Amino acid sequence: MNEIGLKPEGRELGHTPYSKYVQTEALHTLQEFVSDSPAEPAFLANVQISEIYWALIVRELVSAQAELRRDRVAATNRILRRIVSHMEAFNANWRSLSWLTPAELMPILKGLAQKHGKDTALQGWTFREMVFLLGVKDRPSLEHFEPQPLRLKQLQDRLNAPSLYDDVLAALARAGKPVPRSHLQPSYAAPYVHDGAVEAIWAEIYSMDDPTDPWRDLAELLADIAVEFTNWKYLHLMATRRTFGGRPAYHGEDAIQWLLPTMDEIPFPEVWTARSKVI
């Protein structure tokens, strides 16, 4: 461990107000390296930053749902705008790993597999909870989380609860929009199925093109979130192509082929398809 991460020995260190609030003494002991690769400090820092951002976005999404359930659309939009900013900043983190080469990455992955086993951030519980909240509920089995029973229960509960988009549709219905009843008490764990009636609602909102309409603002913010979510997945895919290639990965499947289907997981589908109906 480097000097900044030295653990206190034998006594409690004092704190400044800043260090107590940020918990710097604990924070700088959390980097435990598994290789001699000079790239690992940057790699691990980025992974840990990812976890913090995913947790932040989850918190914000839950707050947005709470505002929607109170029919406070303008307040919801303020939160969604923050989420877009979080995602933009989060995606910029990829630039600090843009130099990573296969020769620098492979020792890290080998050390990780030897010490902890093979895995992927896309199977992390924080990422999966964020994805469920965005309404993408048709990917991996939750069996992966059996070693974490509390997190497994948390994800099962989230899988069976409304996503952000479910709450958007419920709020639209309360606002008098003709949302089909099937969307008001659905099987929340089931993959979302595109609905032409929902598409027509968004098409009408876009056709009116009223910049003062909070629903139009909300639709554009949903689109921004979907773009940034997809941008992150694309950057992850390209980083995999660049550093890992097409070799078998976490489930014995070609890493690129395992990631490619995730590019089709675009949240809030009718917000996108409605655009072809606007005249």
The pLDDT of residue 100 is above 60: yes
Q: Are 250 and 205 in contact (CB under 8 A)?
A: no
Tell me how far apart the alpha carbons of residues 54 and 255 are, in angstroms, rounded to a whole number: 22
Strand, coil or helix: 276? helix
| Structure confidence at residue 253 as a pLDDT band (50, 70, 90) | confident
Q: Are 221 and 165 in contact (CB under 8 A)?
A: no
The pLDDT of residue 255 is above 60: yes
Q: Which residue has the tokens 């395992």?
A: 258
Amino acid, res. 189 = A
Report the mean per-residue pLDDT for the chain: 91
Higher pLDDT, 224 or 255: 224
Tokens, residue 72: 């406070």
Tell me how far apart the alpha carbons of residues 84 and 60 are, in angstroms, rounded to a whole number: 10
Classify residue 56 by burial, with Cβ atoms within 10 Å: 0-12, 13-18, 19+: middle
The pLDDT of residue 168 is above 60: yes
Domain locations in the chain? 1-30, 31-277
Q: Give the per-residue pLDDT at 56.
A: 98
| pLDDT > 70 fraction of the chain, expressed in percent and rounded | 93
| Structure confidence at residue 180 as a pLDDT band (50, 70, 90) | very high
Please list the helix, strand and coil fractions of the chain in percent, rounded to the nearest 5, in that order: 65, 0, 35
Tokens, residue 103: 């020769």
**Secondary-structure class of domain 31-277 per CATH:** mainly alpha
Higher pLDDT, 227 or 118: 227
Worst-scoring range by mean pLDDT, 211-215, 232-236, 251-255, 265-269? 251-255
Nearest residue to 246 via CA among 124, 237, 95: 237
Q: What is the mean pLDDT of residues 136-162?
A: 89
| Cα 99 from chain centre | 24
Q: Are 58 and 125 in contact (CB under 8 A)?
A: no
Q: Are 48 and 98 in contact (CB under 8 A)?
A: no
pLDDT tens digits, one per residue of 195-209: 999 999 999 999 999
Q: Burial letters for 171-203: b for 16+ Cβ neighbours within 10 Å, e otherwise? A: bbbeeebebeeebeeeebeeebeebeebbebbb
pLDDT tens digits, one per residue of 10-22: 445 688 999 999 9
Tell me how far apart the alpha carbons of residues 150 and 85 are, in angstroms, rounded to a whole number: 30
Worst-scoring range by mean pLDDT, 114-123, 131-140, 161-170, 270-279? 114-123
pLDDT tens digits, one per residue of 48-99: 999 999 999 999 999 999 999 999 999 999 999 999 999 999 999 999 999 9
